[in-house]
Amino acid sequence: MRSNRRRIVVELPEAARGKRLDLALAEVVEGFSRMALQRLIREGAVRVDGIVVDRPGSRVEARGKVEIDLAGTASAEAPETTTAELPVVFEDEHLVVLDKPAGMLTHGTSATRAGTSAASSEASAADIAAARFGPLPSLYGADRPGIVHRLDRDTSGLLIFGRTQAALEALQGAFRAREVEKTYLAIVRGAPRFDSEWIEKRLGRSAKHRDRISVVRDGEGRDAATYYEVRERFEGYALLAVFPKTGRTHQVRVHLASIGMPLLGEKLYVPRRLQGTPSPSAPKMARQALHAHVLAFAHPATGEALRLESPIPADIADALATLRAKPRVR
């Protein structure tokens, strides 16, 4: 591979014949994830034997020279944004489990896929997984490599990627069958009525705000069930262990808000009576205080029982330290 800051030139080997162009390039172009290469292809920055190819799924017909023009493309910064590393909690030839920080997308949005915004060079966890572990299979399109499940951008914690088609299908099946035990840690505002409680409310798209989820009437939306246990109580706040039994979008956030206990730092789902400027003494969180702490599941190939844990991130630990410094509530 020959490259400079404006152009990359590679020779596709005979083994690339019949493969998707984005996959073939991911195997020979260093420093770019498959998603970043897809963006470059769509932007018209890739020529195969002198002819522009703008479809990532185009099949390679024969070995040949590929030129990638980085000058003026939205993906020019891709190497710097896609080679970051995430802590690896578990890794073998079948799957990998990463510890995603808050603020990072699980996979690219429509804007990042199209390369139409300033966010187009933003690395998602899927980008980084593909860059570090090589091409990953996908059941939901080439822009979601290895995706088994997802976390909201501002939710931190454990994220599983399948490294083989068989493992990916088995893991997704385990999530659908509710065979994966998920434990989240959450700091909520308010005083829980009980030390433990089930929240069983159907969820669907909000009629007023299509980017939000809301509790809907029977017969609408989809069933959703969340169980929580109180771990610590504070004046006006509580630390919960949350066990979602279904995996609906924004489920934990919406369910907790629906019983008057929004997450600390929550911006979308806050009951009207709790909206407004928090008191100066309130613990500080720049995002919702929700962390995917533990995942327990059967290994998709061996059947071995796995229990993986992510440590409490610094911002949630700091908020807990602030709360613990005040008088306790029993």
Exactly one of 22, 127, 152, 154 is catalytic; which is it?
Answer: 152
pLDDT surpasses 80 at 173? yes
**CA angle (164, 167, 172) in 5-degree steps:** 125
CATH number for the domain including 183? 3.30.2350.10
CATH number for the domain including 6? 3.10.290.10
Answer yes or no: is 207 within a domain. Answer: yes
Percent of the chain with pLDDT over 90: 54
* Predicted confidence (pLDDT) per residue in 99-124, tens digit: 999 989 998 754 444 333 333 446 78
Answer yes or no: is 110 within a domain. Answer: no
- Confidence grade of residue 75 (pLDDT, cut at 50, 70, 90): very low
Answer yes or no: is 242 within a domain. Answer: yes
Answer yes or no: is 88 within a domain. Answer: no
pLDDT at 2: 55
Is there a single domain that holds both residue 59 and residue 195? no
* Predicted confidence (pLDDT) per residue in 250-260, tens digit: 999 999 999 99
Answer yes or no: is 28 within a domain. Answer: yes
Is residue 152 annotated as part of the catalytic site, yes or no? yes
**Among 22, 47, 76, which residue terminates a domain?**
76
Q: Average pLDDT for residues 216-231, to the nearest whole number?
A: 95
57-70 residues labelled b (16+ CB within 10 A) or e (exposed) = ebebeeeeebbbbb
Helix-helix angle 125-133:34-42, to 10 degrees: 110
**Among 18, 45, 76, which residue terminates a domain?**
76
pLDDT at 1: 55
Q: What is the pTM of this model?
A: 0.72
Answer yes or no: is 304 within a domain. Answer: yes
Q: How far apart (Å, rounded) are the C-alpha atoms in residues 330 and 327? A: 10
Higher pLDDT pick, 149 / 31: 149
**Among 19, 41, 76, which residue terminates a domain?**
76
Number of folded domains in the chain? Answer: 2
> What's the per-residue H, E or C state across 256-284?
HHHCCCCECCCCCCCCHHHCCCCCCCCCC
Residue 182: phi, psi to the nearest 5? -115, 130
pLDDT at 109: 59
Answer yes or no: is 129 within a domain. Answer: no
Answer yes or no: is 118 within a domain. Answer: no
What domain range includes position 283?
A: 178-324
Higher pLDDT pick, 135 / 320: 320
